[in-house]
Amino acid sequence: MFTGIIQNISKLEKIDHRSKNYTFILNSNLSFNKNDLGTSISVDGVCLTLVKVLKFKKINKLFFNISPETLKISSLKFKKKGDLFNLEKSLKYGDEIAGHFVQGHVDDVGKVISITKNKNSWCFWFKIKKKFNKFLIKKGSIAINGVSLTINEIKNSAFRTDIIPHTFKKTNFSILKKNMIVNVEFDLLIKFLKK
């Protein structure tokens, strides 16, 4: 379980895909130790298991195995060396919940359809598949690339979120462009209510 408050931006150093088994190797300055092996990390909103850590001075190399199902449903299948990922460690007892409950179970991918710079924020419009419209609620929560956001406007299968400078600088939203693919996770409570 996560909160959608990003702790680090990490660069994809290598994709190892021998025998159709994918392993992503990311560089990060987040602190990890041997006890963290097997823990869940949100990588661009996808809950992945940390399987190996190699330390090089202040940089850690983080290893994550990627299943075929994860590649099928998320934006990870489009990633290449040098791409930037949002990272968040999983919640621990007593941690502050500053965003909303995010599982890291990506529902689908969406597309950036426009980005507009305002005086003190960026206006992002995203497009999703029509079948997910039922999960869009104005002023409701949504996670995009693992970032906890508020839906401020809805038009058919598109919705608007507004990004403040702090979030823009601390996440990979700063490198998003029109038509780029993002991971989308709808609010857990809304999904349960609709079910």
Q: Tens digit of pLDDT for each residue in 132-190?
A: 999 999 999 999 999 999 999 999 999 999 999 999 999 999 999 999 999 999 998 88
75 against 96, higher pLDDT: 75
**pLDDT confidence of residue 19:** 66
Closest to 45 in 3D by CA, of 91, 95, 4, 97: 4
Cβ-contact 150, 161 below 8 angstroms: yes
CA torsion, points 80, 84, 88, 89, in degrees to nearest 10? 60
Q: Tell me the C-alpha distance between 179 and 113, whole Å.
A: 6
DSSP class of 192: H
Domains detected in the chain: 8-89 (2.40.30.20), 108-194 (2.40.30.20)
Cβ-contact 28, 101 below 8 angstroms: no
Q: What angle do CA 46, 179, 143 make, to 5 degrees?
A: 30
- State phi, psi for 77 to the nearest 5 degrees: -65, -20
Of these ranges, 14-28, 75-89, 96-110, the one predicted with the greatest mean pLDDT is: 75-89
- State phi, psi for 193 to the nearest 5 degrees: -65, -40
3-state secondary structure of 119: coil
